[in-house]
A = this chain, B = another copy of it.
Amino acid sequence: MTALKGNLIFGQSGGPTSVINASAAGVILEALEHPGLIPRVFGMHHGIEGILHDDLFDLSKEDRRELELLCGTPSSILGTCRYKLEDPQADDGDFERILEILRKYDIRYFFYNGGNDSMDTCSKVSRYLQSKDYDCRVIGIPKTVDNDLFGTDHCPGYGSAARYIATSIAEVWHDTHSYKTPMAVVFECMGRHAGWLAGASALAGVIGRGPDLVYLPEVAFDQEKMLADARQVLRQKNVVLISVSEGIMTADGRLVAEQLSSRATDAFGHKQLGGTAALLADLLAGELGVKVRGIEFSLLQRSAAHCASGVDIEEALLAGRTGVKAAMEGASGVMMGYARPGHGAYRCEIIQVPLEEVANREKMVPLTWINEEGNGVTRDFIDYALPLIGGEPHQIHEEGLPRFALLKKIPARPGV
Contacts and interface: CB of A to CB of B under 8 A. Distances in A.
Nearest to A268: B286
Contacts of A175: 16, 74-75, 299, 302-303
Contacts of A389: 399-401
A278 B274 contact: yes
A383 B301 CA distance: 30
A132 interface: no
Number of copies of this kind of chain in the complex: 2
A238 B179 CA distance: 43
A259 to B, nearest CB: 9
* A interface: dominant SS: mixed
Interface stretch (A3-11, A86-94, A352-360, A390-398): A390-398
15 contacts: A74-B175, A167-B401, A167-B402, A168-B300, A168-B304, A171-B303, A171-B402, A172-B299, A172-B300, A264-B264, A264-B267, A274-B274, A295-B298, A295-B299, A392-B397
A254 to B, nearest CB: 15
A153 interface: no
A321 interface: no
Interface string A360-400: 00000000000000000000000000100111100001111
Interface stretch (A25-33, A109-117, A202-210): A202-210
Contacts of A264: 264-267, 272
Contact of A273 (B79, B185, B278, B397): B278
Contacts of A204: 401
Given A171-B300, A270-B286, A400 B180 contact: no
Given A263-B267, A400-B163, A296 B299 contact: no
Interface stretch (A61-69, A134-142, A226-234, A305-313): A305-313
A185 B177 CA distance: 31
Contact of A179 (B80, B209, B281, B304): B80
A303 B75 contact: no
Interface in A35-79: 46, 49, 73-77, 79
B16 A401 contact: no
A46 B401 CA distance: 35
Given A206-B399, A299-B295, A174 B404 contact: yes
| Nearest 8 CB-CB pairings of A with B | A263-B267, A389-B400, A75-B174, A171-B303, A76-B178, A390-B400, A268-B286, A75-B175
A289 to B, nearest CB: 12
Given A272-B272, A286-B270, A203 B296 contact: no
A260 interface: yes
A101 interface: no
Contacts of A294: 273
A160 B260 CA distance: 36
A192 interface: no
A16 B174 contact: yes
Interface string A232-271: 0000000000000000000000000000110111111010
